[in-house]
Each structure stands twice: as C-alpha cells, then as structure tokens.
Amino acid sequence: MPADVSASILAELTAVTGAAGITTGAAALEPHVTEWRGNYRGRTPVMVAPATTAEAAAIMRICHARQLGVVPQGGNTGLVGGAIPASTAEAPQIVLSARRLQAIRNLDADNYTITAEAGCLLADVQAAAAAADRFFPLSLAAEGSCQLGGNISTNAGGTNVLRYGNTRDLVLGLEVVLPDGRIYAGLRGLRKDNAGYDLKQLFIGAEGTLGFITAAICKLFPPPRSLSTAFVAIAEPAAAIALLSRARVALGDQLIAFELINRRAMDFVLDNLPEVRDPFAAAHPWYLLLELGSAGTGSAADEQLEAFLAEGLTTGQLIDGILAQSSAQRAGLWHLRHGISEAQKKAGAGIKHDISVPVSRIPEFLGAAGRVVAEQIPGVQVVAFGHLGDGNLHYNLNQPEAMDAGAFLALREPVSLAVHSIAVGLGGSFSAEHGVGVLKRADLARWRGGVELELMRTLKAALDPTGIMNPGKLLPDD
C-alpha cells in the first residue's frame, strides 16, 4: 500500500485509468522520482498515466477534490528538477505522466501544422512531420527521450532557435487540463487569431505549475533539402560575433545553427569520448559549428558556405575551417558538440549555468565572468559552449584539478550569484532555456522580484487557487 494516499483515493484513480495507468511500488517508481543525473531525488506514492484527455481531466478532478499535489512528468529529461515529486505524508503528490498520450491526432500538410498529444516523443513528432515531407524544427540532444508536453512546458530551445525560434514560436494552440479538471480547448491552427488574451502562452514555459498539457498544434515548415555544416576555429569570441553578423547577411535565413565551443570543452570531449577526433591538426582557443539548411538539393549551399569561410580566412576572422563532406562527417561534428555535457560529467564535479545576454554582449560576458570565476576559484576550468546565435551560453565550471569536489561544490552559491549578476547586468537572464524548476527558484525571487513576480503569483492564484499543480516548483515561497 502506498504510504501517502489512502486506499480509497487509489481506488478512485484506478477506476479512471484502469490498472494499466497506475504505477506503484518503489522499484517501478524509481525512474520517476529520480533525475537522470542524480541531482534530484524525491518520492511519490503513485504515478498515474491517463490514456485520454477525458481521463486526465477526471484524475485532476479527484486531485482537486482531495487536495492532492500533481507533478506533471514527460520524459524526465529536464535539468532543473521540475518533474521530480516531493511527496510527504502531510502533503502527498502524485506524478501525472503523459506517457500514454501518444497519438498524432492530425497532420494538415497544406496548413503546415501537426496536432500531437503531449506524450509523443519529440523524435516521433519530427518523424511524423518528415513522413509528410514537412519539417518540425525543434531539436535537442534529448529528443529521443523528451516529450512534446515537456518541451512546451519548459519552452525548450535547442539548436535551431536562430532560424525557427523557441518552442513558444512553434506552438499555435494547446489543449490543457486545468487544476480543477476543466479543459481549456485551444487547439486552433491559426497564424492569425487576435481574439483577446493569448491564453496558450500562459502554459508555455509554466513548467507544469498552471495545468497539464494534453495536446498541441504546432507549426511545420518546408524541409531543408540539403544541410551544409562547417566547423571553424577562431581566436576570440569577438570574432564569433563578427562572423555571425556577416553570416546573417551573406547566408540569410538558410543559417539554422551557430554554436560556440571553447577549447576546454573540446579537450574534455577528446579526453573522455574515445570515438571523437579533433577536426583540426592544431589546438585553437574557440570553435564554431555552423549549419545551413537550404531548399535546393544541389551543392549551392555548400558553395555559399565555402565562399563565406574563404572570405573569413582571407580577412583573418577565422583561423581554420572545414566543411562536412558527408552525412557521417556532419554527424561526427554534431556528436562533438552534443557530447560536451557527458564529457564534462566524466571530468569531475561541475557547477552549471544557462545564461543568455544580447548576442552583441557575449564577449563582454565571457571576459567579465572569466575574470570573476578565476578570482573566486583559482584554477577553475571554464567549459563555455552553447547557442551563440541565440545569445545563450552554457557557462559551466569544473573543479580545479587539485581541488576536492566537495570544497568546489560548496562555492556554488557565491560563484553562481556572480555569474548571474554579470549576465543580468548586461541585460540578460539567469535562465535561458532550462527553466526554473527547483534549482532556480531563489534566482527568480532575486532577479524577477517586484511587479514581475507579483504578476506571476496573480496568475498562479487565478488558475490554481489551491496550489495543487507542481507545488514547490518555479515560484519561490511567499
């Protein structure tokens, strides 16, 4: 018998979904109460997985009546602890999983839209679009495990934001079960719809604190017929900004990815992932990964990118560059980029930041943050990489080789405060794409206090007056 809910509540929940929708028992619940990196561990008496929106609404009505906390969960790949339940005997929390909501309800090729349920894996939404000769551009390294509902709830970014925008820019309509069990039925596939407040926006990036998303209608695009990918070595971040500005003019909307990687990140990948090779003979301080997606099938985009790189070499904006000659070589370059987090983990204890600043201010951020972290932790290893085209850097720190991991991690608070202060001071954010969850609630209070936080609390109180949706996440305590 689960500790935190009575047999009668469990019977009510089971009556809605049948046994197939109910998971209990420590072993079966383990993957749902643990964050994949082991940074968060919680507890829950039961995970409930409705198979339809009507079932989700019925579950929510029970939770509302019984004052049970509800923690929505998708693929549990989030990085801020938002999907991990924190049930106690006094305040039980169930996990509400979207994993059985997996239908692609509709694909309207001429409207360039797909209607998919929240539990669809991101990779499955991409595949469904591709099968209809359409393109769903949201792409991140976790795409084989994360779900569309989780992507929407975190307003996920990823590698194609420069060209196609964040998840927020890709969602046209939502279906959401509200905390009292009512259904907000907003699945409209319209590019134009100025009929009052745009309610769907409330739930995008809300991290499950305002409702449970059951389905979404998303934009599709013409698929790029060819991809051209280059890996480039540069001397300093200012060169990256100059190259990005020139690339946007020279290559236009074809430019879909522009990623920055520092040498430390490259070293970690080369040292810890045996399958990865350095694309260049010599070591360089900074690298860029650029990708063009073009409508043509010929070699025109490759030629354009080659000409762009050649000009960069002539003007000294770049030190060296290679153009992927095959899809295998392209995959290898992306593997290098996507492998950084795994390699960094293998390299020891880390303190991570997910900041954004206006693109033009990235060099200032890197200069100022580099100085401050070196002062606070002499010998600290800075792993700076990310979506430069979006002004978003994962500014991660690894323990100095001679330092004890515990002593290093004890410095997290002051060092993160310093890094976030610099980002915010440059007009940036302490959370670019990973959200707030549990990890950054205090940061939200610090950096978005006053009227902004008051408005957030007003919205929460309006939609979830009894506070059952994802308690203890996103909003700081009063």
Ligand X SMILES: Cc1cc2nc3c(=O)[nH]c(=O)nc-3n(C[C@H](O)[C@H](O)[C@H](O)COP(=O)(O)OP(=O)(O)OC[C@H]3O[C@@H](n4cnc5c(N)ncnc54)[C@H](O)[C@@H]3O)c2cc1C
Stretch that binds ligand X, among 68-76, 259-267, 295-303, 456-464 (CB under 6 A): 68-76
Q: Does 422 bind ligand X (CB under 6 A)?
A: no
Give DSSP secondary structure letters for 38-67.
SS-B-B-S-EE--SSHHHHHHHHHHHHHHT
**Which of these ranges, 191-199, 297-305, 410-418, 430-438, lies near ligand X under the rule CB under 6 A?**
430-438
Smallest CA-to-CA distance from 380 within 417, 358, 405, 360 is with 405
Burial (CB < 10 A; 0-12, 13-18, 19+), residue 196, is exposed
Does 141 participate in binding ligand X (rule CB under 6 A)?
Answer: yes
For the CB of residue 259, give the shortest distance to ligand X in the complex, in Å: 10
Q: Which residue is nearest to ligand X (CB)?
A: 150
Residues contacting ligand X: total by CB under 6 A:
36
- Footprint of ligand X on 87-106 (CB under 6 A): 98
Sheet holding 183-186, edge to edge: 104-108, 113-117, 212-219, 171-177, 183-186
Part of the chain binding ligand X (CB under 6 A), chosen from 6-14, 47-55, 204-212, 303-311: 204-212
The rounded distance, in Å, linking the Cα atoms of 14 and 22 is 6
What are the DSSP E strand ranges found in 267-366?
Answer: 286-294, 320-323, 350-351, 354-356
Locate 145 and state its tokens. Answer: 């495990």
Q: Whose Cβ is closer to ligand X: residue 82's or residue 476's?
A: 82
Least distance CB 50 / ligand X (angstroms): 10
Q: Binding to ligand X (CB under 6 A): which residues in 107-136? A: 118
Q: Tell me which amino acid residue 137 is.
A: P
| Contact present, 186 and 167 (Cβ < 8 Å) | no
Is 397 exposed, middle or buried, given 0-12, 13-18 or 19+ CB atoms closer than 10 A?
buried
Pick out residues in 436-455 that bind ligand X (CB under 6 A): 437
Choose, by CB under 6 A, the member of 69, 150, 205, 312 that binds ligand X.
150
Does position 86 interact with ligand X (CB under 6 A)? The reply is no
Q: Would you give the binding string for ligand X spanning residues 378-417, x where CB under 6 A is met?
A: ----------------------------------------
Smallest distance from ligand X to CB 91, Å: 17
> For ligand X, which residue of 23, 77, 87, 229 counts as binding (CB under 6 A)?
77
- Give the H/E segment covering residue 362: helix 362-376
Tell me: does residue 146 bind ligand X (CB under 6 A). yes
- Name the token pair of 150: 């989780």
- Tokens standing for residue 328: 């295998």
If the CB atoms of residues 224 and 437 are measured against ligand X, the closer one turns out to be: 437
Under the rule (CB under 6 A), what is the footprint of ligand X? 71-79, 82-83, 98, 118, 140-142, 146-147, 149-151, 153-154, 156-158, 207-208, 212-213, 341, 433-434, 437, 470, 473
